[in-house]
Structure 1
Amino acid sequence: MSRFKRGTKADSLAGFRADSPDTSHTAVPHGLLKAARKSGQLNLSGRGLTEVPQNVYRLNVDTPEEAKQNVSFGESDRWWEQSELTKLLLSSNQLTQLSDDITLLPGLTTLDLHDNQLSSLPGALGELQELQQLRLSHNQLTSLPVEMCTLKNLRSLTLQQNLLQSLPEDVGMLEKLTELDLSKNNLQGLPSSLGHLTCLQKLNLSHNKLSCLPDSLAQLISVKLLDCSNNQLTDVPASLSEMPVLEQIYLRHNKLRLLPKLTAPMLKELYVGNNQIEQLETEQLACLTAISLLELRDNKIKSLPEQITLMSTLTRLDLTNNDISTLPAALSLLPSLQVLLLEGNPLRGIRRDLLTKGTNELLKYLRGRIKEEPERADEGHTAMTLPSQAAVNVHNIRSLKLLVFSEKQASDIPGEIFDAAADQGVTTVNFSKNQLTSVPSRLLEFQSSVSDINLGFNRLTCCSPAICQLLQLMHIDLGNNQLSDLPPDMKNLTKLRSVTLNFNRFKSFPDILYHIVSLETVLLGNNQVGLVDPCGLQKMVHLTTLDLSNNDLLSIPPELGLCTSLRCLGLEGNPFRTPRAAIVTKGTDAVLEYLRSRIPS
Structure 2
Amino acid sequence: MSRLKGVAERDTRAGFRAERREVGASVPQGLLKAARKSGQLNLSGRNLSEVPQCVWRINVDIPEEANQNLSFSTTERWWEQTDLTKLIISNNKLQSLTDDLRLLPALTVLDIHDNQLTSLPSAIRELENLQKLNVSHNKLQILPEEITNLRNLKGLYLQHNELTCIPEGFEQLFNLEDLDISNNRLTSVPASFSSLSSLVRLNLSSNQLKSLPAEISGMKRLKHLDCNSNLLEAVPPELANMESLELLYLRRNKLRFLPEFPSCRLLKELHVGENQIEILGPEHLKHLNSILVLDLRDNKLKSVPDEITLLQSLERLDLSNNDISSLPCSLGKLHLKFLALEGNPLRTIRREIINKGTQEVLKYLRSKIKAFLLPDDGPSQSDSIIETAMTLPSESRVNVHAIVTLKILDYSDKQTTLIPDEVFDAVKSNIITSVNFSKNQLCEIPKRIVELKEMVSDVNLSFNKLSFISLELCMLQKLTFLDLRNNFLNSLPEEMESLIRLQTINLSFNRFKILPEVLYHIPTLETILISNNQVGSVDPQKMKAMGNLMTLDLQNNDLLQIPPELGNCVTLRTLLLDGNPFRVPRAAILMKGTAAILEYLRDRIPT
1:160: Cα distance to partner? 1.0
**Contact residue 26 and residue 52 of structure 1 kept, 8 A:** no
In the other structure, the counterpart of 1:372 is 373
**Normalising by the residue count of structure 2, what TM-score does the alignment of the two structures yield?**
0.65
**Contact residue 209 and residue 232 of structure 2 kept, 8 A:** yes
Q: Does 1:511 align with 2:557?
A: yes
The verdict on how the C-alpha distance between 1:499 and 1:406 changes in structure 2, with shifts beyond 3 A counting, is farther
1:230: Cα distance to partner? 0.8
The verdict on how the C-alpha distance between 1:247 and 1:350 changes in structure 2, with shifts beyond 3 A counting, is same
**Contact residue 184 and residue 206 of structure 1 kept, 8 A:** yes
1:152: Cα distance to partner? 1.8
In the other structure, the counterpart of 2:157 is 158
Amino acid of the residue matched to residue 210 of structure 1? Answer: L
Following superposition of structure 1 onto structure 2, how do residues 411-422 of structure 1 map, counting pairs within 5 Å? 411=474
**Contact residue 132 and residue 155 of structure 1 kept, 8 A:** yes
Amino acid of the residue matched to residue 489 of structure 1? Answer: S
Amino acid of the residue matched to residue 357 of structure 1? Answer: K
In the other structure, the counterpart of 2:480 is 431
Q: Does 1:476 align with 2:527?
A: yes
Distance in 2, Cα, partners of 1:300 & 1:539: 29
1:300: Cα distance to partner? 1.9
SS in 2 for 1:280: coil
**Contact residue 269 and residue 294 of structure 2 kept, 8 A:** yes
1:76: Cα distance to partner? 2.3
Amino acid of the residue matched to residue 246 of structure 1? Answer: L
The verdict on how the C-alpha distance between 1:413 and 1:248 changes in structure 2, with shifts beyond 3 A counting, is farther
1:24: Cα distance to partner? 6.7
Following superposition of structure 1 onto structure 2, how do residues 127-526 of structure 1 map, counting pairs within 5 Å? 127-263=126-262, 264-334=264-334, 336-370=335-369, 371-372=372-373, 407-408=456-457, 411=474, 431-432=480-481, 453-455=503-505, 464-465=516-517, 476=527, 485=533, 487-489=535-537, 510-512=556-558
Distance in 2, Cα, partners of 1:266 & 1:172: 26
Amino acid of the residue matched to residue 536 of structure 2? Answer: P
Distance in 2, Cα, partners of 1:25 & 1:512: 40
SS in 2 for 1:37: helix
The verdict on how the C-alpha distance between 1:303 and 1:26 changes in structure 2, with shifts beyond 3 A counting, is farther
Alignment RMSD (CA, Å): 4.6
Distance in 2, Cα, partners of 1:111 & 1:470: 39
Distance in 2, Cα, partners of 1:165 & 1:154: 22
1:29: Cα distance to partner? 2.5
1:217: Cα distance to partner? 1.9
**Contact residue 106 and residue 128 of structure 1 kept, 8 A:** yes
The verdict on how the C-alpha distance between 1:36 and 1:352 changes in structure 2, with shifts beyond 3 A counting, is same
1:198: Cα distance to partner? 2.1
Distance in 2, Cα, partners of 1:164 & 1:543: 18
Amino acid of the residue matched to residue 281 of structure 2? Answer: E
Query: Computing the radius of gyration over CA atoms, which structure comes out larger, 1 or 2?
Result: 2
SS in 2 for 1:74: coil
Of 462-471 and 31-40, the range deviating more from structure 2 = 462-471
**Contact residue 106 and residue 127 of structure 1 kept, 8 A:** yes
Q: Does 1:53 align with 2:99?
A: no
Following superposition of structure 1 onto structure 2, how do residues 564-579 of structure 1 map, counting pairs within 5 Å? none
**Contact residue 527 and residue 552 of structure 2 kept, 8 A:** yes
1:496: Cα distance to partner? 9.7
In the other structure, the counterpart of 1:41 is 40
1:174: Cα distance to partner? 1.4
Distance in 1, Cα, partners of 2:108 & 2:45: 21
1:470: Cα distance to partner? 11
Structure 2 gap ranges (5+): 376-453, 459-472, 485-491, 563-571, 594-607
**Normalising by the residue count of structure 1, what TM-score does the alignment of the two structures yield?**
0.66
1:25: Cα distance to partner? 7.6
Distance in 1, Cα, partners of 2:260 & 2:23: 59
Distance in 2, Cα, partners of 1:543 & 1:116: 20
Distance in 2, Cα, partners of 1:117 & 1:470: 44
Distance in 2, Cα, partners of 1:283 & 1:46: 52
1:114: Cα distance to partner? 0.8
SS in 2 for 1:8: helix
Amino acid of the residue matched to residue 355 of structure 2? Answer: T
Distance in 2, Cα, partners of 1:408 & 1:64: 67
Following superposition of structure 1 onto structure 2, how do residues 59-98 of structure 1 map, counting pairs within 5 Å? 59-68=58-67, 71-98=70-97
Distance in 1, Cα, partners of 2:155 & 2:534: 37
1:74: Cα distance to partner? 3.2
The verdict on how the C-alpha distance between 1:90 and 1:117 changes in structure 2, with shifts beyond 3 A counting, is same
**Contact residue 49 and residue 94 of structure 2 kept, 8 A:** yes
1:363: Cα distance to partner? 2.0
**Contact residue 317 and residue 341 of structure 1 kept, 8 A:** yes
1:309: Cα distance to partner? 2.4
The verdict on how the C-alpha distance between 1:406 and 1:110 changes in structure 2, with shifts beyond 3 A counting, is farther
Percent of paired sites with the same residue: 44
Distance in 2, Cα, partners of 1:253 & 1:340: 20
Amino acid of the residue matched to residue 73 of structure 2? Answer: G
SS in 2 for 1:157: strand
**Contact residue 47 and residue 93 of structure 1 kept, 8 A:** yes
Structure 1 gap ranges (5+): 375-404, 418-429, 447-451, 502-508, 523-531, 545-601
**Contact residue 131 and residue 153 of structure 2 kept, 8 A:** yes
In the other structure, the counterpart of 1:125 is 124
What is the CA deviation profile of residues 269-296 of structure 1, one whole-angstrom value per residue up to 9, with x for unaligned ones? 1111111112212211223222121011
Distance in 2, Cα, partners of 1:486 & 1:96: 40
Distance in 1, Cα, partners of 2:258 & 2:557: 37
1:407: Cα distance to partner? 3.7
Distance in 1, Cα, partners of 2:190 & 2:327: 44
1:364: Cα distance to partner? 2.4
Distance in 2, Cα, partners of 1:162 & 1:37: 32
What is the CA deviation profile of residues 450-482 of structure 1, one whole-angstrom value per residue up to 9, with x for unaligned ones? xx942369xx99752465799999x72659xxx
SS in 1 for 2:8: coil
